[in-house]
Amino acid sequence: DAKTTQPTSMDCAEGRAANLPCNHSTISGNEYVYWYRQIHSQGPQYIIHGLKNNETNEMASLIITEDRKSSTLILPHATLRDTAVYYCIVRDVSSGSARQLTFGSGTQLTVLP
Amino acid sequence: DAGITQSPRHKVTETGTPVTLRCHQTENHRYMYWYRQDPGHGLRLIHYSYGVKDTDKGEVSDGYSVSRSKTEDFLLTLESATSSQTSVYFCATSWVSYEQYFGPGTRLTVT
């Protein structure tokens, strides 16, 4: 699976959009981009994933650049409860078998009141 | 979220004793996973299962064994606990979409 690079930490004002970047310059054609987050002392939570088109769900939007070498997770109206470590994971799911998720260091997002 | 429970949620045990952690799911997910999380190492896969009685090793499987006799239950056993196995253990499940859903975690302390 391709390696990802994320900033160590970011701050965001409550009510504003939080834009979390991820660089995955070595991504291959079969690899999806996944985002998870982990709120302190809880298990990781799936947020969203995509291949090459932008995706949106009730939690967030995922913007993937045309060359697929980077992506941005957008939380449109951040709340204090969105304070968490956000993980960007690139994963090849073409094999059809269960494989582990490789969690890097992630980005600590702190939403400020 | 998938209905995933882990038991116990907290456990303190002594070095050399056997310990079994249980993961139970109500979503009929095919795949189940055990991870451990330690400061400075992030989440690391211990073992996973791709069906009843079908399991495989992950990145850090030494000292751990697993069993899955029913779809809904995945057991992690530390045959002889060591202090290096003090950690937070997370169970996860997934279906074919590969979106993993995690349980609340078990905090294990080996003294």
Contact A111, A9 (CB under 8 A): no
Q: Is the pLDDT of residue B19 over 90?
A: yes
Cβ neighbour number for residue A63 with a 10 Å cutoff: 16
Closest residue in A to B47 (Cα–Cα): A100
The model's confidence at residue B98, banded by pLDDT at 50, 70 and 90, is low
Residue B17 and residue A87: Cα distance in Å, rounded? 35
What pLDDT was estimated at residue A78? 97
Say which of A49, A100, A103 has its CB closest to residue B99.
A49
- A53-64 pLDDT, tens digit per residue, is 899 999 999 999
Token pair, residue A104, equals: 């890097």
Mean pLDDT value of segment A64-85: 97
Distance (Å, whole) CA B10 – CA B21: 10
Which residues 2-21 of B are in CB contact (within 8 Å) with A?
none
The mean pLDDT value for B59-76 works out to 96
Looking at the predicted structure, is the pLDDT value of residue A66 above 90? yes
**Residue B42 touches chain A, beta carbons under 8 Å:** yes
pLDDT at A29: 86
Instruction: Tell me the average pLDDT across A64-69.
Output: 96
Q: Between chains, do A46 and B100 touch, taking CB under 8 Å as contact?
A: yes
CA A92/CA B71 separation, integer angstroms: 25
Report CA torsion sign: A111, B89, A87, A93: negative
Q: Is B25 on the interface with A (CB under 8 A)?
A: no
Q: In this structure, are residues B26 and B17 in contact, taking their beta carbons and an 8 Å threshold?
A: no
Torsion angle (degrees, nearest 10) of CA A28, A31, B37, B45: -100
Residue A98 has pLDDT above 90, yes or no: no
Testing the interface with B: which of A36, A93, A95, A100 to mutate, by most B Cβ within 10 A?
A100
Mean pLDDT of A82-110: 82
Encoded tokens for A20: 């979390």
**Can you tell me the distance from the alpha carbon of B110 to that of B81, in angstroms, rounded to the nearest whole number?**
7
